[in-house]
Chain A
């Protein structure tokens, strides 16, 4: 049972890394190819806001779980 929080933290860290990496790749495409800078900025803000909200929810749940053990 003790491995569960560690595994969950690793899992959450991997999700954070994946989200960040994909964000960088997508932002590169939005700014480089066929998008107005304003539209690319809006897309980046929306992507960051939604991803940050979901990651925040994940990490809060994880903290609550770790504390409750």
Chain B
């Protein structure tokens, strides 16, 4: 994937720094976050069926153009909500370079957090997978523990192939330490 890394706010690659791995959350996370909103698109159709079934006079009193107007408006709102959900999903990303781990967390349209964890502070990397869905679809949480009492740990939630990500972090950390010796 061709990404413009210069635009990752508050983070710049060094001149010789190399990106080893880039990844986003598993597609199931996007599906989970958007399924409720997507199903809401069916509400007007269901309301029409319900009104027809209940034989209410609301439908006959309302012109077809008004019903169609309300349906299009509702679909537009659902579409806008799905666009925001997808954007929030797509702008969350992680990178492993040959020097550090970078986490970009888009929590809202105007809320963004970029965390950089140098390999020098990495102590331990653990993987957690809970439940049947995470096990079968092979996604989970990777926790990177850092040294020092005040150090911030990095938690990568909902990542695909978490064991491979853990292995890559350990491999790159060991490679970085070998270079430093």
Contacts and interface: CB of A to CB of B under 8 A. Distances in A.
A64 interface: yes
Contact of A65 (B5, B63, B112): B63
B109 interface: yes
The majority secondary structure among interface residues of chain B is: helix
Contacts, number: 83
Contacts of A32: 7
Interface string B61-78: 001011011001101100
B68 A36 contact: no
A19 B104 contact: no
A37 B106 CA distance: 19
Contacts of A57: 68, 72
A65 B66 contact: yes
Contacts of B80: 18-19, 22, 51
A33 to B, nearest CB: 5
Contact of A34 (B66, B73, B75, B104): B104
A22 B83 contact: yes
Contacts of B68: 57, 61, 64
A62 B76 CA distance: 15
Nearest to A16: B76
Contact of B66 (A15, A35, A54, A61): A61
Interface of B: 1-5, 7-9, 63, 65-66, 68-69, 72-73, 75-76, 79-80, 83-84, 87, 90-91, 93, 104, 106, 109, 112
19 contacts: A8-B69, A12-B69, A12-B73, A15-B73, A22-B84, A25-B109, A26-B84, A33-B8, A34-B90, A36-B2, A36-B4, A37-B4, A51-B76, A54-B79, A55-B76, A58-B72, A61-B66, A61-B72, A62-B65
Interface of A: 8, 11-12, 15, 18-19, 22, 25-26, 29-30, 32-38, 47, 50-51, 54-55, 57-58, 61-62, 64-65, 68
